[in-house]
Amino acid sequence: MNEYKILFTGTMGAGKTTAIGTVSETPPIVTDVVNNDQSHTKERTTVGLDFGQFTLDSGDRIRMFGTPGQSRFDFLWKILAKNALGMIILTDNSRPDPLADLRVYLEGFSEDLDTMPCAIGVGRLDSHAAPSLDDYVDELARHERVFPVLAVDVRKREDVILLIDTLLAQLEAGMFGE
């Protein structure tokens, strides 16, 4: 049995904790505290990490780590990215400028993204149609990146599994070294 680490990142409220909890076979470990960031109405926020795990049909185990979304905790991003197989960046399309949010993570993880697969999960696209998935693809191109961009609802197990399968498919296709 192999164990693989996947990193979930994105802005506060994008659904990292929810995504991990949706697919984890064990109760997820979370480091949420009462939110004191007045710019966001979310009641609680992650200040350390989230952790969950699940087993693939092959018997291999996926360990999922979620980063804090706030940039003031970016020192943890590099620590959590170490030895990750791949990264999932979650965006919240209802935020004022979700493409700018995406840029924060593309730039913050720039070196890591040179060597690992990534998938972009866009949430709340059904209620906020702009920007479109094509706009996200264009933003990635401006950063010289080509990653799959998927509309997701992180409360749905099949959507989160699709994001993870997308990472694994990139590895299987030889798009990134292990």
The pLDDT value given to residue 95: 93
Domains in the chain, start-ordered, CATH in brackets? 3-172 (3.40.50.300)
Nearest-angstrom CA–CA distance, 168 and 178? 11
* Helical pair 98-108 and 133-142, crossing angle rounded to 10 deg: 40
Average pLDDT score over the chain? 89
The DSSP result for 68-123, as a single string, is -SSGGGTHHHHHHHTT-SEEEEEEETTSS-HHHHHHHHHHHTHHHHTTS-EEEEEE
3-state secondary structure of 146: coil
Highest mean pLDDT among 49-53, 74-78, 151-155: 151-155
Asked if the model's pLDDT at residue 26 lies above 80, the reply is yes
